[in-house]
């Protein structure tokens, strides 16, 4: 069978970040593990579910390290490689770092898929790594039943300029750089109710790297107090984790959340994933979504793949940051505010 006739989403049960282990289950597993004592140079670890680890080398340099991989979320191999790479690179950008090297993680069913499929996947990833001005330096592969691909990415950052999800301050404005809805739109592809050409808006977004630092001068970067990228746990999950890590409450104006043109139609049509349910279960005890209708509740729990960055920024700089980022992210929006900690971590209005 030629690569052009293979629909990659039909070769797997789950696709993209919707294939993540449910956050509640993951936390239960991690609580049972005894991790080694942290080195004094370890600035950020997995304690607060941050996007990457930070390890200080000296006063001017720290390493940013992350890893991300998943099953196909689209049918076209090259496009899958681009999305997987953009998604992995995003974790470094979410910490304020610059990616420098990337290593591939590949599981490939040699008996059922032609070699050209993985050539195209790797080429798509290579092109996206080159766009990030990083180096594709190798990786590891296994023969497996289903295709899985991603990257281990290393970046560099000044240890004095690290963004984490623990720095949000009361009074901050919240900025989201990309639209929501990749989970439901790609579920439509998985169900063969939509074609890739029907969701080009979302595909363009998922292949866009989150290099926000490229568009922000140093004085504006200094006004970013906290950041995280919005991926498989949905906007609700990642916003909740930022609020809990920062010991604040986020107040979200839900109507201001950017979404793709077909997002509500696909949610209403029932194009859902298991993650819509598990994200709701994960966040329900810690958020107030009582003012939302059914579609908006599904929207905030929609699992994103290569989603946008959620930034907590000084209020006096929010308009300037939004304007600067609009050069690259056309739907960037101010979506809420940060307040002293209340009963719930996130309030949706």
State the DSSP H helix or E strand holding residue 336, giving kind and residue range, or none if neither. strand 333-340
Residue 69: how many other CB atoms lie within 10 Å = 17
Q: Which structure tokens are listed for 157?
A: 């950052």
- C-alpha dihedral over 221, 225, 174, 281, to 10 degrees? 130
Q: Is 17 part of the annotated catalytic residue set?
A: yes
Q: Tell me what pLDDT residue 1 has.
A: 47
Give tens-digit pLDDT for 306-323: 999 999 999 999 999 999
Cβ-defined contacts of 327-330 (< 8 Å, 24+)? 327/215, 328/208, 328/211, 328/212, 328/214, 328/215, 329/177, 329/178, 329/208, 329/212
Q: How confident is the model at residue 10 (pLDDT cuts 50, 70, 90)?
A: confident
The Cα 312–Cα 326 span in angstroms is: 17
Query: Does the structure show a pLDDT above 70 at 114?
Result: yes
Q: What mean pLDDT comes out for the span 169-188? A: 97
Mean pLDDT is highest, among 2-6, 19-23, 110-114, 248-252, for 248-252
Q: Tell me what pLDDT residue 291 has.
A: 97
Give tens-digit pLDDT for 26-82: 778 877 887 878 889 999 887 767 889 999 999 999 999 999 999 999 999 999 999
pTM score of the predicted model: 0.93
Give the closest residue to 232 by CA, choosing from 28, 15, 86, 64.
15
Catalytic residue among 8, 17, 44, 185: 17
Q: How confident is the model at residue 16 (pLDDT cuts 50, 70, 90)?
A: low
> CA 37, 43, 48: angle at the middle one, nearest 5?
80
Q: Tell me what pLDDT residue 19 has.
A: 64
Ordered by where they begin, the domains of the chain are 3-161 (3.30.1330.10), 173-348 (3.90.650.10)
């Amino acid at each position: 069978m030629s690569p052009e006739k293979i629909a990659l989403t039909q070769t797997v049960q789950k696709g993209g970040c919707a294939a993540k282990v449910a956050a509640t289950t993951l936390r239960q597993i991690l609580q049972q593990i005894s991790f080694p004592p942290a080195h004094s140079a370890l600035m950020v670890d997995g304690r607060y579910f941050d996007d990457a680890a930070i390890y200080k080398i000296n006063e001017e340099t720290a390493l940013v390290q992350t890893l991300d991989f998943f099953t196909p979320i689209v049918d076209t191999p090259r496009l899958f490689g681009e999305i997987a790479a953009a998604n992995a690179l995003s974790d470094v950008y979410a910490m304020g770092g610059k990616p420098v090297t990337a290593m591939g993680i590949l599981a490939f069913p040699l008996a059922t898929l032609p070699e050209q499929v993985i050539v195209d996947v790797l080429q798509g990833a290579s092109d996206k790594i080159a766009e990030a001005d990083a180096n594709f330096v190798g990786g590891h592969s296994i023969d497996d039943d289903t295709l899985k691909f991603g990257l281990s990415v290393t970046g560099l950052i000044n240890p004095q300029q690290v963004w984490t999800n623990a720095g949000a301050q009361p009074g901050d404005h919240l900025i989201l750089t990309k639209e929501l809805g990749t989970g439901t739109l790609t579920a439509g592809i998985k169900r063969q109710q939509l074609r890739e050409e029907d969701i080009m808006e979302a595909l363009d977004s998922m292949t866009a790297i989150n290099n926000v630092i490229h568009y922000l001068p140093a004085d504006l970067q200094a006004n970013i107090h906290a950041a995280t990228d919005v991926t498989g746990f949905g906007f609700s999950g990642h916003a909740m984790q930022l609020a809990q890590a920062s010991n604040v409450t986020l107040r979200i104006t839900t109507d201001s959340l950017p979404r793709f043109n077909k997002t509500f139609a696909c949610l209403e049509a029932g194009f859902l994933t298991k993650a819509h349910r598990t994200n709701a279960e994960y966040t329900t005890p810690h958020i107030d979504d009582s003012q939302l209708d059914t579609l908006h509740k599904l929207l905030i729990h929609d699992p994103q793949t290569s989603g946008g960055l959620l930034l907590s920024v000084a209020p006096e700089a929010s308009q300037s940051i939004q304007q600067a980022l609009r050069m690259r992210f056309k739907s960037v929006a101010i979506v809420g505010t940060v307040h002293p900690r209340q009963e719930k971590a996130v309030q949706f209005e």
